[in-house]
Amino acid sequence: MNITTLSSRQYCIVLDPVDEETQKPRLGSKELRKGELSFFLLPGERLESGIQSIFVLDSEEALLLRAKESFEDRQPGDRWMIYGPCDYVPPVAIEILERRRCIPLDEK
C-alpha cells in the first residue's frame, strides 16, 4: 500500500470513505481531506481526482462556483463567485466552473 501525503497547500476528496466508528464504508459519500496530512487509503476508498493544489487567487482573480447539492444557504445549481485575494479549498458540495481574471477596460 502506498501512503498518501498532503502538504499544507494541497487537498484531496476521498470517495466512499470508511466510517471510523463502525469501520464500514459510507458508500456514495465524499470526504474532504486537506492540510499537512499523511494517510493510507482503506479498502474501498479511492481519490476522486488525485491530490490537488489549493486555489490561490490574487486581487484581480475570481472563481465561478456551482453548488452540486445543498450547501449553507445555496441550493443545487446555484452559481456565484469568490473574489480574491484569498486561498480557496472547495468543499465536496461545490464545483468550480472556471477561473476568471479582471479585464481592464482602459489603460487607467
Lowest mean pLDDT: which of 27-36, 64-73, 99-108? 99-108
- pLDDT surpassing 80 at residue 98: yes
- pLDDT surpassing 90 at residue 22: no
Task: Supply the range of the domain harboring residue 90.
Answer: 55-101
3-state SS of 3-38? EEEECCCEEEEEECCECCCCCCECCCCEEEEECCEE
Last residue of a domain, one of 53, 73, 92: 53
pLDDT band per the 50, 70, 90 thresholds, residue 30? very high
Find the CATH number of the domain harbouring 17.
Answer: 2.30.30.560
What's the predicted TM-score (pTM) here?
0.82
Closest CA relative to residue 90, chosen from 60, 54, 47, 36: 54
108 lies in some domain: no
- Quote the cell numbers at residue 97: 466552473
Give the per-residue pLDDT at 108: 66
CA distances from 62 to 15, 81, 83 (A): 27, 6, 4
**Cβ-Cβ contacts under 8 Å for 90 (sequence gap 6 or more):** 55, 65, 96
Count of domains forming the chain:
2
Number of H helices, E strands in the chain: 0, 11
- pLDDT surpassing 80 at residue 33: yes
Mean pLDDT value of segment 65-91? 94
pLDDT tens digits for range 83-95? 999 999 999 999 9
Give the per-residue pLDDT at 104: 81
Are 60 and 47 within one domain? no
